[in-house]
Structure 1
Amino acid sequence: MNLNYKVIDTAKIVDYISLFESSVCVADIIQNSGADKLRVYPALFELEQNGFLEVVEREELGAPLIVRKKKVE
């Protein structure tokens, strides 16, 4: 049986972000979500593209620093 670690880690990230009403630091996601730290940034990019989250603050080169679950309108 082949486990899809990308899907598992993305689910961990979604679950962690969903715990917060407001924004959450990417450093906290890396430290506390249980997802592999090398998969966090690619997963956040995909989640932003899919409309699940929005980036509140980016570092100079564009990597997210703070994200939040996108509000449903």
Structure 2
Amino acid sequence: MQNVQLAAWDTGVGMQWSTGRITMEEPTYQLLGIDASQEYIIGFFYTGYPADISEPKRQPAGEFIRWVA
């Protein structure tokens, strides 16, 4: 799932993985044409083009990783 998200981001598509009650509701299975006795949904990718891309707030790894020989 992470690799799919990274590949999407590389093309400018934002993506969020989500699970929850919707993955267990019968109307979801009916809408998607899935036979709940044969398959089950583990989650959804919500995708789209972000309106704003903010700068990362994470500290660069090189600033806190120390290699010990």
- Give the TM-score, by structure 2 length: 0.23
The structure with the larger Rg is: 2
- Give the TM-score, by structure 1 length: 0.22
Larger strand fraction of residues: 1
Larger helix fraction of residues: 1
